[in-house]
Structure 1
Amino acid sequence: MNIEELRDYCLSLGDVEEKFPFAKIKGGESVLVFYVCGHMFAFLDIADYDLVTVKCQTERIAELREHYEWADKPSHENGKYWIGIHANIVPDDMARELIANSYNLVKQKYSKRKK
């Protein structure tokens, strides 16, 4: 999945905002973050499109990292709750599934709090 396809997919999930929240931090100006309910669910460095970081279930992270070379440590996040996926080698259907999973985890958690 190329970067445009990934962006389009993230935005298609509904109620998603995209921002560059780290623009004032050296090295952070090219980090694109996708939000749902005001909270991050995916981010990547558009200047070095290799690793996409998404939220994931703790037990699933260990399994994915053990079995797949495209599953890695997340970029700048807690490895207990986030996983890094190498965009250039992860199958497109798996990338979409992991992004949707992350979106749903965040949306479920934070939409309950707003009620």
Structure 2
Amino acid sequence: MEIDEILAYCNAKKGVKETFPFDKETLVLKVGGKMFLLIPLEQQPLTISVKTDPEWSADLRAQHPQITGAYHMNKTHWNSVVCEGLKKELILQLIDQSYELIFKSLTKKKQTEVQGS
């Protein structure tokens, strides 16, 4: 997958905002003000960081050498994913789960605001 495909897919979701809170090289996508996807723009091959269920994280890391604990993040919940060599469906599934986990962690008020956007 290419970065343009990932960004188009993410931005089609409700309430997604692109930010650069850390530096000019790390694009952070947020929903309801919380991060669900990070993309280090200068890194090659294309790599993303996503939040996943801890049990699924362990399975993913065992099955795919391209998936490891995310740098500077809680490695129980966050994975660094080198997109090269992974099926598009898996990458989209990882993005979907990350978005959903973050969305579900928002207050009911924030969730309503996001759904209305």
Paired residue for 2:114? none
Equivalent AA in structure 2 for residue 34 of structure 1: L
For the residue of structure 2 that corresponds to 1:98, the secondary structure is: helix
The total of aligned residue pairs comes to: 110
1:35-93 CA distances to partner (integer Å, 9 max, x unpaired)? 00110000011111432100011111011101112211212211011111111222111
Task: Tell me, in whole angstroms, the C-alpha distance in 2 between the residues paired with 1:60 and 1:113.
Answer: 29
Task: Tell me, in whole angstroms, the C-alpha distance in 2 between the residues paired with 1:113 and 1:58.
Answer: 27
Contact 2:67 2:80 in 1 (8 A): yes
Paired residue for 1:93? 89
Equivalent AA in structure 1 for residue 10 of structure 2: C
Task: Tell me, in whole angstroms, the C-alpha distance in 2 between the residues paired with 1:95 and 1:60.
Answer: 14
> Gaps (5+ residues) in structure 2?
112-117
Paired residue for 1:44? 39
The 1:110/1:74 distance shift into structure 2, 3 A limit, reads same
Residues 1-115 of structure 1 mapped to structure 2, 5 A cutoff = 1-23=1-23, 29-49=24-44, 50-112=46-108, 114=110
Structure-2-length-normalised TM-score: 0.87
> Gaps (5+ residues) in structure 1?
24-28
Structure-1-length-normalised TM-score: 0.88
Equivalent AA in structure 2 for residue 75 of structure 1: Y
Identity among equivalent pairs (%): 29
- Over the residues paired in the alignment, what is the CA RMSD in angstroms? 1.5
